Structure 1
């Protein structure tokens, strides 16, 4: 087989895989423009009989997704900021300093990586309640961002460990203290890891369901987009078209952020590997 034929065959296979991969999202957009009875009545047909844009209006205004969007943006950005600062600081200590029990601490970190979220929701809720932060944005941000985040911490630790010590020594000769060295020298150099942690944490905080659900049970006005979609599920029936419209509204910002930052995400992975 010639190289040109292999190229064509590879392209065809990748196109088929891409079509299968994208189809569920296209079906979701199609369902958001149909009536509830039409969603499953037409099976795999993607063309709505009538474009029902009112499904989006119902989700945005009547159900309250406008306020859910604001809640989600505030919580997501707060969580991303907290995770980046915490993980970078912890990774800097683990990567640049030797101390007694360091290997044991890293081992504990790795063990917590495998603990399911459901096992930690009770102590997190109790601690947040004792701090009188339950049913607040700050409480949700602390609940999401103050956990282990082992992967982000170890990514920073591995990156900082490979940076030359001369960088810190030169900064110290210029009179910089530890805090100045970290925030003005080391952290800017770790932009590949920061970009990766930003994207991964953004997607996690934007789509997380369990913790915001528990933290906003008594205050529906604080719901996030993921939790707010449960409004369309009733005891006797489900508003499938409204649910699909709400899902599209929830997905669009996350897809847009990834589309804008995907090049930087790839570059960050490549930069981290080169280091």
Structure 2
């Protein structure tokens, strides 16, 4: 009986032990992964002298002077609201436009559909640096080359292609009965998309919102080029770079500004991570 009891317990103990080992290993990797973030937050409460003194993560004499200096003197407060304007605007534009295009590509069969898909995928291999000059020239011709509207419009095209493919994959797996029922009720193509299909794609919508927010909030190259002639419309990523002088780097102010930049997107992801993962899983499945 003792041998039988041990044999019954073994299959339960072994998987549990493996889970513990995997959890410990992943926890160790996580600690290494987030250490730079912890160091940045810690350094934001230190002076430059304390940072170079290498006193550890916990500051001996914490100070909020770096945050005050970054928000007021370095104009990070204004850059924060510039970034918020650009991010919110680009999220609205990209979500609606990519959802409409993804719906057509995912649900309709028409001549040239494969060619359009091929051209869309081809644009993924074009580096951003090659498109900056045409984008800037287009914004200048439209008269918004030195305004936040121009930054917002330019940012909206950065990762647009990926979102179209995500929506197309998600919409393609939806049952045809939904559209057939809408047609029987006399609902047209546009209303079917807006009132039936789009509400059902909430996970992918949240995924696009999170990804576009991360992209627009952290984009550096496009805002840097567009805001060169008008520093007042700088975004946070460009404003943080301004802490790097020719002969001196204000590490305390830079880490404080970086913390201000990162905290909002971290909070957003923590609230929406479940929908984000569901949306990616659904798009890949489709």
For the aligned pair, the TM-score class normalised by the smaller chain equals over 0.9
Which consecutive unaligned segments of at least 5 residues does structure 1 have? none
Which residue of the partner structure matches residue 267 of structure 1? 278
2:239 aligned counterpart, secondary structure:
helix
State how 1:16-95 maps to structure 2 within 5 Å: 16-42=28-54, 45-95=56-106
1:187-198 maps to which residues of 2 (within 5 A)?
Answer: 187-198=198-209
Three-state SS of the structure 1 residue aligned to 2:242 is helix
Counterpart check, 1:10 vs 2:22 = yes
Cα distance in 2 for partners of 1:23, 1:147 equals 29
Partners of 1:135 and 1:164 lie apart in 2 by 46
> 2: distance between equivalents of 1:71 and 1:136?
10
Report how many residues are paired.
274
- Corresponding residue to 1:167 among 178, 199, 204: 178
Measure how far apart 1:11 and its partner are: 2.3
How far 1:165 moved relative to its partner? 2.6
Please report the TM-score for the alignment, with normalisation by the length of structure 2: 0.90
Q: Note the residue ranges of structure 2 that are not aligned, 5 or more in a row.
A: 1-12
CA shift, 1:80, in A, is 0.8
Greater shift in the superposed pair: 203-212 or 167-176:
167-176
Identify which of 204, 222, 231 aligns with 1:211: 222
CA contact (8 A) 2:169 2:284 kept: no
Distance 2:31 2:270 in 1: 18
CA RMSD of superposed structures (Å):
1.7
